[in-house]
Amino acid sequence: MNQTKDSAGNLIIVSNRGPNDFVWQDDHWVVRPASGGLVSMIDPLARQPDVTWFCCVSEAPPASESRAALFTTAADQTDPEHHIVPVPLPSKIYQAYYGTISNEVLWMLQHHLVGQFGYSALDAERHRAWTDGYLEANRRIARAIRESGIKPRVFLIQDYHLYPLPALLREVFPDVPSLHFTHIPFPGFTMLKLIPQSWRDTIFQGLLGADVVGMQTEWDSRRFLGCCEELLGAKVDYKNGTVAARDGRL
């Protein structure tokens, strides 16, 4: 794994999935190359010597043994041009964060694959998955970055799995700039009104913790700005693509 010699610090990539999948099999971790557009897009940047990539791994029981082996595996069996830091999440938390919320709610919502009644009657299990899965996973990722001892110079945060993360990192690293990029369509405010207001508030407070919010298309960007205006009452400049955050940042 490459460690930076740049006193300015590392560029930190954060994503749900990294360049390798870590699979617990027959009481040991197996490393497999990951596929997908996000990994392919980021990989050339990730090979630079001053870049560290944090990614999530569903932790296998017994947790303490698998965790120790995970870090050894990441150090010894991945591409030496990558500096990968796996963030182990207990399997129950990971499933709630990734499966129940990220895929079954956010991905579906953002692709407009939601019925007319939306999520107005979410059951208790889904609310627990939001609090104890999605939010908890993002908190653990932020804590892992803080406790790594790696000095960041900028954060590149990827996709809908990590909407709360920019704000969490800003609390710890207030002077480190960050970008959050969403790799799927961004919904309009009518779709976002289908989820609880507390969820919407967390999503937008998280995104507005970033200095730059990136979207796939200009249309997605305009929908994001429209949501900030309609749902938050924020001051929006459509021409320049800016939103006035609560702390005065644009």
Q: What is the 3-state secondary structure (H, E, C) of the chain?
A: CCCCCCCCCEEEEEECCCCEEEEEECCEEEEEECCCHHHHHHHHHHCCCCEEEEEEEEECCCHHHHHHHHHHHHHHCCCCCCCEEEEEEEHHHHHHHHHHHHHHHHHHHHCCCCCCCCCCCCCHHHHHHHHHHHHHHHHHHHHHHHHCCCCEEEEEEECHHHCCHHHHHHHHCCCCCEEEECCCCCCCHHHHCCCCHHHHHHHHHHHCCCCEEECCCHHHHHHHHHHHHHHHCCCEECCCCEECCCCCCC
Q: Is 51 inside a domain boundary?
A: yes
**CATH code of residue 14:** 3.40.50.2000
Q: Do the domain assignments include residue 248?
A: no
pLDDT at 64: 65
Whether 168 is covered by a domain: the verdict is yes
Whether 136 is covered by a domain: the verdict is yes
Q: Is residue 86 part of a domain?
A: yes
Q: What is the pLDDT along the chain (250 residues), one digit of tens a residue?
A: 444 444 578 999 999 999 888 888 888 888 888 877 888 889 899 999 999 999 999 987 666 667 778 878 877 777 888 899 999 999 999 999 999 999 999 999 999 987 655 665 578 889 999 999 999 999 999 999 999 999 999 999 999 999 999 999 999 999 999 999 999 999 999 999 989 999 999 999 999 999 999 999 999 999 999 999 999 999 999 999 999 877 666 5
User: Domain for residue 106, yes or no?
Assistant: yes
Do 193 and 224 contact (CB within 8 A), yes or no?
A: no
Q: Does residue 243 fall inside a structural domain? A: no
**How many residues in the chain?**
250
Q: Is 67 contained in some domain?
A: yes
Q: Which domain holds residue 134?
A: 10-218
Specify the number of domains making up the chain: 1
